[in-house]
Structure 1
């Protein structure tokens, strides 16, 4: 099964040189599950010709806000709606989670409660999981027809299910310890409050449920193929 990765942003250059880009992280995450991948740099306006160019789609994270004015956002939202209409399965992570919601009529805002950074606890589809997060924006109002299937004390709509078509997560199953450590050092200072960075640093060795979440996402995509 081929998954099309819609790369909505890129890892900061120093981290990209060391760890790879967002698409590389997803290839590593799903390596045990027999999927193949093709990447489109949608932030750079490289879009697939059709929603049928892959068997399923995955939208990555991004430094951008979905409510901002960027050239790639209107065609990306149109692509999401077209994939939804054609029932081609889609998974969204962080920014991908947010842009799927916005494209289908939900509301995303910069959360008044601030940032979520590092290992966090969630309840997703009936299971307690720990995953890494890095975000300030949140889905505030899910679109009609979306079911909230994941939440935390900080994030009310941490996972959304769109029937058999789509599944999206606010946290980052593709982010391991090395990615969070690099982001704390490279992107955090001056942006994320020091106290939150210190807490995230202290939780770097906290075990996360990345392999299980990768299995669940891969199962969702392949069951729908």
Structure 2
């Protein structure tokens, strides 16, 4: 299967010498599960046109510093792309901003949360009988970095991952063609820690310290990335 990665954000400039681009992070993440996948990247921020989703096998939309309320020229075409992909049944995965733009395009409410920044490793509840997860997985500790949230999911979406901080952290859509998540299973520990430090001076020291402490919790990103791999290949 060929996975088309829609690159909607870059690694922050201060970190680019140390960390790989997001599409490469996702490629490494999926390769760990032996998934028979090849990838191609659409660098949307560099002006690349969006392909016809009906001609694609599967799509993944990355994270981004953008919000769905921003007025970037690529935002409306991406919403149209999401709607067309959904209509023609192309498999689609969204992570962080990808999770949000899919929900926004399909009728959900996405905005900055009054709860502020989610940073570090958060623990999420896996909703019982959620598709693609192995049985008996009840919670997952995964890295996150976001202010925006899906406040109200689209009518066609079912919550499959949640926390007190992010009640709509994972969504599965009717028809089984879309899976999206707020946290970042593609982030390694050192990158998540670097992102926390990047917020220093922009959020309170209490938030920074709590985020650093949370990174001591063992990552369970592999469980989520395996669910994504299972979804793509199912």
TM-score (norm 1): 0.94
Contact 1:44–1:72 (8 Å) recurs in 2: no
Describe how 1:1-225 pairs up with structure 2 within 5 A. Answer: 1-32=1-32, 33-126=35-128, 127-163=138-174, 164-185=176-197, 187-223=198-234
Question: Equivalents in 2 of 1:157, 1:144: separation in Å?
Answer: 13
After TM superposition, give the deviation of residue 205 of structure 1 in Å: 3.1
Gaps of 5+ in 1: none
After TM superposition, give the deviation of residue 53 of structure 1 in Å: 4.2
Question: Equivalents in 2 of 1:158, 1:10: separation in Å?
Answer: 22
Q: Note closer, same or farther for the CA distance 1:16–1:52 as it changes in structure 2 (3 Å cut).
A: farther
Kindly provide the CA deviation profile for residues 175-203 of structure 1, in whole angstroms up to 9, marking residues without a partner as x: 12111111122x21222322111111123
For the aligned residues, what is the CA RMSD?
1.3
After TM superposition, give the deviation of residue 31 of structure 1 in Å: 1.0
Gaps of 5+ in 2: 129-137
Q: Which range moves more in the overlay, 30-39 or 104-113?
A: 30-39
Contact 2:50–2:78 (8 Å) recurs in 1: no
Q: How many correspondences in the alignment?
A: 222
After TM superposition, give the deviation of residue 92 of structure 1 in Å: 0.2
